[in-house]
Amino acid sequence: MIREISYKATCDMLGCKNEAKYCFFTRKRFSPKIHFCENCKKELFEELGRSIIPRSLDAPYSPKRLSKI
Ligand SMILES: [Zn+2]
């Protein structure tokens, strides 16, 4: 679950020290939240897109549906 944050936090991504703009909540109640900035969000989604979007046309995940995440 990704939410925009209104408080100040630093991006948690490796090697990044930007101000975080988003927060990723995990399902586990006591695990820490992961903060990340606009840049890292883009990179993250590009990475995810490359690994989870199947190439075939009859794939269950169309790029249109994924863009809404
Ligand atoms: Zn970042």
3 alpha carbon – ligand 1 mean position (Å): 15
67: pLDDT strictly greater than 70 = no
22-32 pLDDT tens trace:
998 877 776 66
19 alpha carbon – ligand 1 mean position (Å): 7
63 alpha carbon – ligand 1 mean position (Å): 24
By CB atoms closer than 10 A (0-12, 13-18, 19+), residue 63 is: exposed
Please, how many CA atoms are within 13 Å of residue 54, restricted to the half-sphere of its CB?
6
pLDDT category, 51, cuts 50, 70, 90? confident
